[in-house]
Amino acid sequence: MTITPTKLTRAAGLCAVVAGALFIAVQVKHPTLDLDFVTTTEWKVRQSAKVVMAVLSLAGITGMYLRQVRQTRLLGLVGYALFAVGYLIMLSIEVAALVVLPSITDGSPAYVTSVLAVATGGHATSDVGLMLPLNLVSAATYLVGGFLFGVALFRADVLARWAAVLLAAGTVATIGVVLFPDVNFRLFALPIGVAMIGLGYSLWRDGRGTATQPTPTAVSSQPDLAGAK
């Protein structure tokens, strides 16, 4: 199989679509984060899905940026870089939650409880080390990066503009997790998931359109001797 920019673009679009769908799916009927849940099989399944989602999201936004790197200019670069850092930190946190937290629940229940509280915008009751600043950096880069990247995509006018607006608005809206603690914070993930699906599908269609464009017929540089007679 020949790897071409068009195929990579379409693959990135599919990655974004699957990432958005997973982001929405893991929020559905999500149990309360507590010590009992951390040791269950459902925890492992949901955390594995979140790890896959973060990886696919990175691939998706990278494809979006590279497809319109000229149109998005500096704003696109800054937005993409911050958004990518946010997803990278998110990936590291989700991996740690998948492979580390279940193994230390019995020995350090206070630490695990505090980590879960920090993850949901709450306050830690014990020392969690660098997990708190790491979570804050992840939230800041994700929020600012998602907003700037969404604005850059909207201005570029290459992919679906409604999805770009939804991405920008959705990432900023996640600050509501702190401002409105009584609201189910998982609802704030829905707009971003829909935005990723919309942008990913738009990127996939854009790649398909590029692939089906006719290749210009090469014009011979030799003089038409027959016509000259």
- Lowest mean pLDDT segment, chosen from 61-70, 71-80, 116-125, 215-224: 215-224
Range 133-156 average pLDDT = 95
Residues 6+ away with beta carbon under 8 Å from 173: 188, 191
For residue 49, count CB atoms less than 10 angstroms from its CB and return exposed for 0-12, middle for 13-18, buried for 19 or more. Answer: middle
At 188, is the pLDDT very low, low, confident or very high (cuts 50, 70, 90)? confident
Residue in 157, 43, 51, 154 with CA at minimum distance from that of residue 94: 51
Q: pTM value?
A: 0.86
Range 187-215 average pLDDT = 82
Q: Is the pLDDT of residue 72 over 90?
A: yes
- What tokens does 177 get? 């997790």
- What tokens does 176 get? 């509501």
Per-residue model confidence as pLDDT tens digits over 76-129: 999 999 999 999 999 999 999 999 999 999 999 999 999 998 887 778 888 888
Measured distance CA(90)–CA(172) in Å, rounded: 17
Neighbours of 89 (CB within 10 A): 20
Measured distance CA(180)–CA(186) in Å, rounded: 12
